[in-house]
Structure 1
Amino acid sequence: MTLILWAVLGYLLGSVPFGMIIARLLGLGDLRNIGSGNIGATNVLRTGSRPAALATLLLDSGKGAAAVLLARYFAGDTAAILAGGAAYLGHCFPVWLGFRGGKGVATFLGTLIALHWPLGLGACAIWLLAAALGRISSLSALLAAAFSPILAWAMGRFDLIPVSLFMAVLIFIRHRTNISRLLDGSEPRIGRK
């Protein structure tokens, strides 16, 4: 029962649409009608407000981390893993927005950092390296996600393989249109409109 409670709390925390809240508070408009329609930091950046995008990035990654850290403190590691996975699910499919949320890269990275910081930093390093070399944000996210279960295995954190695999699969599902554009060469590069 405790594990179910932490999964529900993680989901609810993850489903807080910080990008939407920040955009509305700053008068930037409804993110669902801007750019990709996504509620995450990348689409907030399309409004032209870097501070709003940075705040969204930090809050979206922070909500995954907070779910993990709170659950671990009050209920242990298994609850932390469930809460982290549920927070990621909540970001992608928030009840408040008709289950139409973001792609969850920031929440994914924040969750991994809180679960096992070397794993999270490894995924961040893969994202940064891929972004520096390829200049394509979505490809960087896909590579970080794909390698996260492998990193968990290599670090001997077999308990984190299922949750990292779960989040990786969802990242690939949420990036379907990006994958199509990557395959036909039309995916935009970082810094280009």
Structure 2
Amino acid sequence: MEFLSTVLILIIAYFVGAIPFGYIVGKHIKKIDITKHGSGNIGTTNAFRILGAGPASLVLLGDFLKGFFPTLYAMYMGEVGVAILVGLVTIVGHNWSIFMKFKGGRGVATGAGVVMALVPKVIIIAFFFWLAIVLITKYVSLASIVGAFLVPMLMIYFKEPLLITAFGTAAAIFVIYRHIPNIKRLLAGNELKIK
């Protein structure tokens, strides 16, 4: 892939990743600014708490697909390295959206979309663990942290290429780092649960 084409794809990937589905769904369906409620986060977890399951499902789908499709396109072009860069840039776009004054979510759903495009079986297994933890504990943050941790572990188990495993490891560290405030609340016993 030519250098200019790669740069263009990465720029497009950032703007796709930056689409604030949580904010858009909150404004158009519930007529509220989600950034002024709950944790103030535009991601799926806060959307579930503030908007309810139906609108939050739209947020989840939107955030997932904006990670999935750009990465899948780059994979289709036959460039694994570029696909990984595209995935990283979409996550960066979600976490630091230009449309939200460089604020955003935690990157879990968007990161899951990226991994789905790269290694579907890994994210499917991680999702079932995520879902089980949510159903048992009602802590989405805890489920997201465990799910993020499982991604590179599963990549190692399935002997995925080093480049993809390195991406999975970096993405997991990034997601867990973004959840430090949640980890502190979990340890203190005052993390919010979902209904």
Q: Which among 32, 42, 47 is matched to residue 45 of structure 2?
A: 42
- Alignment match, 2:171: 167
Q: Which among 142, 157, 182 is matched to residue 178 of structure 1?
A: 182
TM-score (norm 2): 0.89
Quote the Cα distance in structure 2 between the aligned partners of 1:75 and 1:8.
19
Matching residue's letter, 2:163: D
Counterpart contact for 1:92–1:102, Cα < 8 Å: yes
1:127 and 2:130 matched: yes
Counterpart contact for 2:49–2:194, Cα < 8 Å: no
Aligned length: 191
Report runs of 4+ in structure 1 exceeding 4 Å deviation.
Answer: none
Structure 2 CA distance for partners of 1:132 and 1:24, relative to 1, 3 Å: closer
1:24 and 2:24 matched: no
Quote the Cα distance in structure 1 between the aligned partners of 2:194 and 2:56.
15
Quote the Cα distance in structure 1 between the aligned partners of 2:149 and 2:51.
30
Deviation at 1:27, TM superposition (A): 4.3
- Alignment match, 1:82: 85
Identity of aligned residues (%): 32
- Alignment match, 2:157: 154
1:102 aligns to what SS in structure 2?
coil
Matching residue's letter, 1:53: A
- Alignment match, 1:57: 60
Q: Name stretches of at least 5 consecutive residues in structure 1 with no aligned partner.
A: none
RMSD, aligned α-carbons: 1.7
Structure 2 CA distance for partners of 1:13 and 1:124, relative to 1, 3 Å: same
Quote the Cα distance in structure 1 between the aligned partners of 2:166 and 2:122.
14
Counterpart contact for 1:15–1:92, Cα < 8 Å: yes
Quote the Cα distance in structure 2 between the aligned partners of 1:50 and 1:142.
21
Quote the Cα distance in structure 1 between the aligned partners of 2:75 and 2:152.
21
- Alignment match, 2:16: 13
1:26 aligns to what SS in structure 2?
helix
Quote the Cα distance in structure 1 between the aligned partners of 2:87 and 2:179.
20
Quote the Cα distance in structure 2 between the aligned partners of 1:8 and 1:57.
23
Quote the Cα distance in structure 1 between the aligned partners of 2:184 and 2:132.
22
Q: Name stretches of at least 5 consecutive residues in structure 2 with no aligned partner.
A: none
